[in-house]
Structure 1
Amino acid sequence: MDVAAGRPGPAFYLAGDSFPDDVGVERALAPRLTPHIGGWIGQEALAGTPGGFDPGIAARSAQLEAALPDGPALRRVVLIGRSSGARVVTEVACRRPVRAVICLGYPFRRPGAAEEPARFAHLAGIAVPTLILQGSRDAYGTPAAARRYALSDRIRVQALDADHRLRLAAPDWDAACRLIVAFCARAGAPDDLTD
């Protein structure tokens, strides 16, 4: 039996550069997702490793990779990231074949800045099923703007009625988490999201 076909998890969550100011996103996700996944490793747990929280992409990627399990257990892992944390988890997923990746407010482009291919070029080749929940008023890229980038056919972009900070009401978080749970469950199915 394929290891990925069982219950998803654990989930590893990475916040954005504004951590701990954006801790509300993790507090909204964790209690809604934990009943459906095999554990939760949040930003504070990861930042508690030697070196603490470093907002640098390379440092956070190395920290996350060091925390991931080896062998078949890796195929159950779900990586979740908000803003720059989403960039980190997608970069790591390009090297480590996890079950699924969930991005909240992917930072495609800094507002008012020139394009930085390092932010998005790797998304064209990601092989892991990836769900991007993007705010319709996100200054770092709306869902419509996201579709202008070369994205792998493994990526699904879903609009949320939100800005980059993802200040959602409880019912909207409930709906977003239902999408995440269904996506992660389907990522372990035989068709593996290829419709």
Structure 2
Amino acid sequence: MIVPAGRPGPAFYLAGDSFPDDVGVERALAPRLGPHFDGWVGQAALADIPGGFDPAIAARAAQLEAALPEGPALRRVVLIGRSSGARVVTEVACRRPVQAVICLGYPFRRPGGPLEPARFAHLSGLAVPTLILQGTSDAYGTPTAARFHPLSPHIQVQALEADHRLRLAAPDWDAACRLILDFCAHAAAPHDLTG
């Protein structure tokens, strides 16, 4: 199936387990990215769905899937997630062919914990164009460590000078959002999802 080019959107943003403590990430992204999409659905809006904010991965995935449009409109959606929100959006994208996925601080491995394939095994089969922005001092996995996991060829990993909390100065957020917008523009170009 050929996906037509066009303006991306809406964008759906999912925070990490620490929501609302990590709301600063969405506050940095929304004003920089929102105007470039046909709508912005943030974590607070998703949490207002009956059931509220449930940190469980399966519950959040079901909540997100219920909020997504059906039919051709789905292929214009961009999913953005931070930390566990990144895990949710990638799992959903394995089932729902959206236009692009953006991950910030993907939680590859709990600090000091054992490998948990449930965190990353699905990434090997992800067919949606995906950008992972990973902090060089992220305790859940650096960009170098990320490349040792089985990643689909549709996934790109870019380094950010940051930790897992993504405490970035305004110019660094500007640069990160330019990367995201460039990636989404490329993903919006016509491409065949059948091959």
Return closer, same or farther for 1:63/1:123 CA change in 2, 3 Å cut-off.
same
Please list every run of 5 or more consecutive structure 1 residues that lacks an aligned counterpart in the other structure. none
String of CA shifts for 1:67-118, please: whole Å, max 9, x gaps: 0000000000000000000000000000000000000000000000000000
SS at match of 1:137: coil
Matched with 2:18 is 18
String of CA shifts for 1:118-153, please: whole Å, max 9, x gaps: 000000000000000000000000000000001000
After TM superposition, list the pairs within 5 Å mapping 1:167-186 onto structure 2.
167-186=167-186
Q: Which has the higher contact order (CA 8 A, sep 6+)?
A: 2
Matched with 1:39 is 39
Amino acid at match of 1:34: G
Matched with 1:86 is 86
**Paired residue total:** 191
After TM superposition, list the pairs within 5 Å mapping 1:26-175 onto structure 2.
26-175=26-175
Quote how far apart the aligned CAs of 1:188 are. 1.3
Quote how far apart the aligned CAs of 1:190 are. 2.9
Contact 2:124 2:151 survives alignment (8 Å)? yes
Contact 2:3 2:190 survives alignment (8 Å)? no
Amino acid at match of 1:10: P
String of CA shifts for 1:50-81, please: whole Å, max 9, x gaps: 00000000000000000000000000000000
SS at match of 1:6: coil
Amino acid at match of 2:5: A
Amino acid at match of 1:125: G
What TM-score, normalized to structure 1? 0.96
Quote how far apart the aligned CAs of 1:3 are. 5.5
Quote how far apart the aligned CAs of 1:168 are. 0.1
Contact 1:4 1:99 survives alignment (8 Å)? no
Amino acid at match of 1:172: D
CA distance in 2, matches of 1:95, 1:165: 28
Contact 1:103 1:130 survives alignment (8 Å)? yes
Contact 2:106 2:141 survives alignment (8 Å)? yes
CA distance in 2, matches of 1:135, 1:184: 20
CA distance in 2, matches of 1:38, 1:178: 17
Amino acid at match of 1:143: P
String of CA shifts for 1:25-56, please: whole Å, max 9, x gaps: 00000000012111100000000000000000
Amino acid at match of 2:66: A
Amino acid at match of 1:118: A
Quote how far apart the aligned CAs of 1:4 are. 4.2
Runs of 4 or more above 6 Å deviation: none
CA distance in 1, matches of 2:150, 2:96: 21
CA distance in 1, matches of 2:162, 2:9: 27
SS at match of 2:52: coil
Matched with 1:7 is 7
- RMSD of the TM alignment (CA)? 1.0
Contact 1:3 1:73 survives alignment (8 Å)? no
